[in-house]
Amino acid sequence: MSFARRVAHPPLSRNTNGNTNNNGTAGGSRAPSRPTSRSNLQLAFINAGVNTSGQAGGGSNSESSSIDDAFNRAIAPASPSKERTRMLGIRSDGVGGTHFKQKGDEESNIQVVVRVRGMAPGEAPPLQPILSTSGPHCSSINVAMETQQSASSVNVAANSVQSSLVGDGGNVRERSYPFDHVFGPEADQGMVYQSVVGPVLNEVMNGYNCTVFAYGQTGTGKTHTMEGDLTSQLGTYSPEAGIIPRTLYRLFHTLELSKDEYSVHATFVELYNEELRDLLSDEAPQPLGGGKDSSGLRMYEDKGKGVNIQGLEDIPMRDAEHGLRLLRKGSQKRHIAATRCNESSSRSHCVFTLTIHIKETTSKGEDVLRTGKLNLVDLAGSENIGRSGAENKRAREAGMINQSLLTLGRVINALVEKSSHIPYRESKLTRLLQESLGGRTKTCIIATVSSERSNMEETLSTLDYALRAKSIRNRPEVNQRMTRAALIKEYVHEIERLKGDLLASREKKWNISIA
């Protein structure tokens, strides 16, 4: 999943002594108030100067002028500034999305984690819990089932991945599901982060694109797991903070200690009723339902570079606290409503993306950029409309959510069965997750489930899908380290593409006005 964005970049942050403040965050320059037409990658490389042959040089005035002229020619016809910044959406996923194969890069299974919903403060424990685990952190989960509901063995996935039914000598059988990690209801937020997402963040900083997404029935704790408490306490995250806040603080702390130059950018997009919406945009929300142009965002597939979203705000972050404020800002705009199943039910899917650029020097003394990207996805929950009491608008929302999740299930089944056709294009959700499911990304799925017997059907469905997803094989590839010459080549190509798009747009408007 790749995003072509409107960009607003400050200078690349530089660490001089590796010190951090008490909360472990890094400082940096204040972001400009208006989007600019330059990526901070240029500040690191282009301002250093290159000659036309691609060799590092002293940065002659003629070379800098020619680059400036190229950018000015590309954006000069655009008016007003809103159109200009929207059209100039320089990609930053691996700086153009190019990849190369390294020794050790090979196919690997998607990591699948299960988390059992814990009890909220003041909430009574379930009378007949159906789920059991051997402690707060283990590798399997058991589902207590009545005898008439069970069989001696159930094969729920391909490639010999199975669940099994274990007898206890009574009228109840237990179906056992093995996973990479299983967290019981007593597991806290920190345990989930340290065991699952901490290692993923290390891979991102090594130059990989990674995705973590939460999947499950409505009301089972997906948003709590991904976001949790978004307040800050004593200069750091809350004890109930979820994966995203903890990732922000851990990321900036690690970058500050590394003494490398770096930059971190964030996007936050919502998929509501199959329409995309930018949650970080300062523009007034447009009414949804008007087709692909109603939100100003356009999804398209760039050959060899994956799916892009053009027109999406790309915000440079100064430190973890700034990132947390952006997360709160976007979360407040998200579509949420109360149902019988969940007082704060998410009515949309959301993707919070961090793109990290780190400058490093090769053994030959050449400066290159290492780029990694982390997609943190909070999916809306599957919903039984009859039980949730959804009507009218809420029923339509639930129908769209269930439809997109059904498509996700079909994609998982097709990948496991190695089908010749994978139905990615049947939903915008699966198009967004295309690289994360069977693509070049390292992926982790966190399946959230409930211990309530009344949720037995949904719980079994979630566990079955999660078990099947364990058989999906991705082909993770490290992003190419970009040199100055390669970076400029990418920008020249992007400029030409944007000029073509702008010309086509103007011709279309001209033809409409004549008609």
Q: Please give the annotated binding residues, written as ranges.
A: 216-223
Question: Which tokens in the block code for residue 117?
Answer: 């919903």
CA distance 289 to 275: 8
Beta-bridge mates of residue 113 = 181, 446
DSSP 316: E
- Residue ranges at the known binding site for ATP: 216-223
Question: Which tokens in the block code for residue 226?
Answer: 């991904």
Residue linked to tokens 């990591």: 111
Q: Which of 415, 443, 481 is nearest to 94 (CA)?
A: 481
Q: Which of 190, 107, 198 is nearest to 442 (CA)?
A: 107
Cα–Cα distance list, 124 to 119, 121, 132, 297 (Å):
7, 9, 17, 44
Alpha helices in 392-483 (DSSP H): 393-416, 428-432, 456-469
- Pairing verdict, β 4-7 and 306-316: parallel
Q: Which of 5, 18, 179 is nearest to 90 (CA)?
A: 5
DSSP-derived 3-state class of residue 441: coil
| Torsion angles phi and psi, residue 84, rounded to 5 | -60, -50
Q: Do the Cβ atoms of 391 and 226 come closer than 8 Å?
A: no
Q: Do the Cβ atoms of 313 and 332 come closer than 8 Å?
A: no
Q: Do the Cβ atoms of 498 and 492 come closer than 8 Å?
A: no
Mention every residue, 6+ apart, whose C-beta is less than 8 A from residue 175.
142, 143, 145, 150, 154, 163, 164, 165, 166, 460
Q: Which of 239, 235, 238, 240 is nearest to 225 (CA)?
A: 240
Quickly list DSSP for 231-246. -EETTEE-TTB-HHHH
DSSP 338: -
Q: How many CB atoms neighbour CB 14 within 10 A?
A: 13
Q: Do the Cβ atoms of 354 and 366 come closer than 8 Å?
A: no
Question: Which tokens in the block code for residue 324?
Answer: 């947390």
Q: Which of 489, 510, 499 is nearest to 75 (CA)?
A: 499
Question: Which tokens in the block code for residue 132?
Answer: 């059991």
| Segment (H or E) for 86 | helix 81-87
DSSP 135: S
Cα–Cα distance list, 370 to 251, 329, 468, 480 (Å):
15, 29, 34, 7
